Amino acid sequence: MLRGSRGEVEAEYIYRKNVLTKGVPKMDALVAKRFFARWAHPRRQLGRQKLRIFIPTRDSAKWVGIFLDAYRAIGVEPLYIVDARSADGTLKLLRAKDADCVVFTPSGDYAEAGMVEFGARAAGGGWLLRLDDDEFPTRALLDWIRRVGRKSLNQVWQVSRRELFCDEAGAISYSRSQTRYPNPYRRDYLHPQPRFFHAGRVKFLEKVHTPGFVDAEYFDFAPEEAFIIHCNCLLRTPAERLDKILRYEDIRPGSSFMLADEYLPELYSSFAHHNAGRDGLEEFAGLFAALPIAARGAGLEISGAMVDTLTSETEGHRRRIDAVPRLSFDSADDLWPLRFTPHPFRRRLAELLCTLGARRMGTRIWNYLKATQR
């Protein structure tokens, strides 16, 4: 006999009917069980909204509940992928708040060490928005995803991220320094992050300072007003952020020192380096008021030699950005014949177009299918 709440009983029944009777491998069965449990979750927001957000997290008990309340206030129920090594009560807190969460042990000390791939599978695949536990989206981003983004043929959408910090006056601002415009495809686009992606069209990767998958061949950029905020520099002290830089640099040498002005805005005695802005942050006033801001009044204790190393690496990063020529990118959303062709016939479509003389479109569709079919 099945025991538990009505939702748990429904989930177990569906799991046994659809998984256990079909000889699914153990790992896939576990993910499937989690999926069906989420299907029967009392809130079940994700299916109704056509919007799925998953969040890898570790040792975030100080703020994760505040962010969860903010998500629920805008009608979103995210899925939390909790690192099994969390030691501060993060999982207990999320369960106490009846959050949608699952525990996972990554292969390394960073979110991209399997947590992105596992989270994508646990969330059910398809179009997904992956955020960190100290990030939050604008309503404009969620609206754009519902109206436009999830209908795309692309593999990935780049989303602008605003790095928040407390400026000289103690006000919360975001950085517009030169190093926040690193993308050679859009020099005018603030800090693009490939966070909105189709799980069935990317190849997952376990490597720090990557999105958790191989760089996409077919992508585009979400509107800049549809952005996410990053509260790392608000929630963690300078010492904690420096430790994070050193840890990531040890995992992958050459990957983190160059991002010092992002992690440690306090490195620069004059905040003019950041060309700070405050526009567009008004909708987060309630969230900011609730967060335990650690940055205000916290000094940066660091040796002069380390300061020189970090600022030198940051300046070198800026020069490398300037030296890369502007590149063109390929969006799949102009491959309009695919919108009218069922999946089983798309390769035949590419061959037919080439035969009929539309060789450029046929070749592009063929290459797109090679890049996106897993």
Q: What's the pLDDT score for residue 16?
A: 46
Strand 156-166, strand 135-137: pairing: unpaired
**What is the model's pTM?**
0.84
Locate all alpha helices (DSSP H) within the chain, ordered by sequence: 6-18, 26-39, 45-49, 64-73, 90-96, 115-122, 139-147, 232-235, 238-251, 260-263, 285-290, 304-323, 346-355, 359-372
Q: Is CATH 3.40.50.360 the classification given to domain 45-237+269-302+326-334?
A: no
Q: Say whether pLDDT at 170 is over 60.
A: yes
18 band by pLDDT with thresholds 50, 70 and 90: very low
Confidence tier at 44 by pLDDT (50, 70, 90) = very low
pLDDT at 20 over 50: no
pLDDT tens digit string along 286-317? 999 999 998 655 667 888 899 999 999 999 99
Q: Is the pLDDT of residue 350 over 90?
A: yes
Min mean pLDDT across 23-27, 62-66, 139-143, 305-309 is at: 23-27
How far, in Å, CA of 147 to CA of 86, rounded? 36
If you average pLDDT over residues 74-84, what whole number do you get?
95
More reliable by pLDDT, 350 or 256: 350
Domain spans of the chain, in order of start: 1-42, 45-237+269-302+326-334, 335-372
What is the average pLDDT score of the chain? 86
Q: At what angle do helices 6-18 and 26-39 cross, to 10 degrees?
A: 140
Task: Give the position of tokens 């299918």.
Answer: 369
Higher-confidence residue of 137 and 299: namely 137
State mean pLDDT over 27-45: 48
> What element of type H or E holds 150?
none
At 142-168, the pLDDT tens digits run 999 999 999 999 999 999 999 999 887
Q: Contact at 8 Å (CB) between 36 and 68?
A: no
Give the residue from 328, 102, 115 showing the smallest Cα distance to 213: 115
